[in-house]
Amino acid sequence: MATISSTLLLNSSRSALPLRFPKFSGFSSSSPFARSYRFGRRNLEPLSNGMLSSGSRADGATAAAASMEGVMTEAMKLIQSASPTWKSAVANNLLIFVLGSPLLVTGLSASGIAAAFLLGTLTWRAYGSAGFLLVAAYFVIVSAFVINLNGTAATKVKMTQKEAQGVAEKRKGRRGPRSVIGSSAAGCVCAFLSIYQVGGAAFSQLFRLGFVSSFCTKVSDTVSSEIGKAYGKTTYLATTFKIVPRGTEGAMSLEGTLAGLLASFFLASVGCFLGQITPPEAAVCVLASQIANLGESIIGASFQDKEGFKWLNNDVVNVINISLGSIVAILMQQFILQNWVK
């Protein structure tokens, strides 16, 4: 045992001695290894200096932080820009869509969200944050009051009952791009005309009024249709007042009509609060929306699903409806408000 212990101690003492290596004198200058060694050394020196220098690392972190701060500052300038531009419109819209994505997916399909993004960008460019908030309020009414985190408030009411009757919305009420475009076509036209100042300043407020009225018309149409299908006790055909089943094209109900009227009044009040229209113009928007919806019901009862009018689907009728709402509001402003309201 003593012999083993002395042997281990001897070995450990030897291992503690410093290791000696033969001195390396380098490659000859003509050797390709020498050339590659010198090349690699020259290229690695800056990298090693940067890695080993704590001051350089601190400077890099400071520069990155300054760069990020500059980006955030520029983004906030775009968001707070008093004069809407295409750049600020895209930036604001993107930020809001990212934050509101959980809400959007409940009421819109993926392609519907893309179409809504284009609408939001155009709206912000034309009317700034106030116009954007008006459109957002429209989507809140028809898309955001989520029931059981699935579908829209107006569209999801009594979904099981509407499905049994065959009058439920497709895709569980989630709107696609055609629905978004059909709901906003007239508003987009008014926005384009405002952006490029067609007709000059004299027509600017008219286009703004048409823009607001188009969404008041559409929100009234959507709410009245969905509430009528779910809660309407008696539905009448708009042309003959004959009692017809729920969901019949051109049918109207008292419950749906009152709900649509209230929805239009609410959105017009939002437009007035945001400074897009005046109180008298808000009343014009509500009245114009009801006239347009009555016209849509007459068109639906008279032509939709009839022979020779197969092209007249819901999307086309929606465009006609909101266009009527915009045109009627503009005409009322010109021939009634301008002459009677001082």
Of residues 51 and 244, more confidently modeled: 244
Domain span at residue 232 reads 81-340
* 235 in any annotated domain: yes
Please write the tens of the pLDDT for every residue from 71-85.
556 545 555 555 788
* 241 in any annotated domain: yes
Do the Cβ atoms of 244 and 228 come closer than 8 Å? Answer: no
The residue behind tokens 């249709």 is 225
d(C-alpha 112, C-alpha 201), whole Å = 33
User: What confidence score (pLDDT) does residue 286 get?
Assistant: 97
Name the CA radius of gyration of the chain, rounded.
35
Of residues 317 and 49, more confidently modeled: 317
* Residue 118 reports pLDDT greater than 60: yes
* 98 in any annotated domain: yes
* 38 in any annotated domain: no
* 57 in any annotated domain: no
Average pLDDT over residues 222-240: 85
Please write the tens of the pLDDT for every residue from 199-212.
888 899 999 999 99
* 102 in any annotated domain: yes
* 295 in any annotated domain: yes
Q: How many domains does the chain have?
A: 1
* 199 in any annotated domain: yes
319: buried, middle or exposed (CB in 10 Å: 19+, 13-18, 0-12)?
Answer: middle
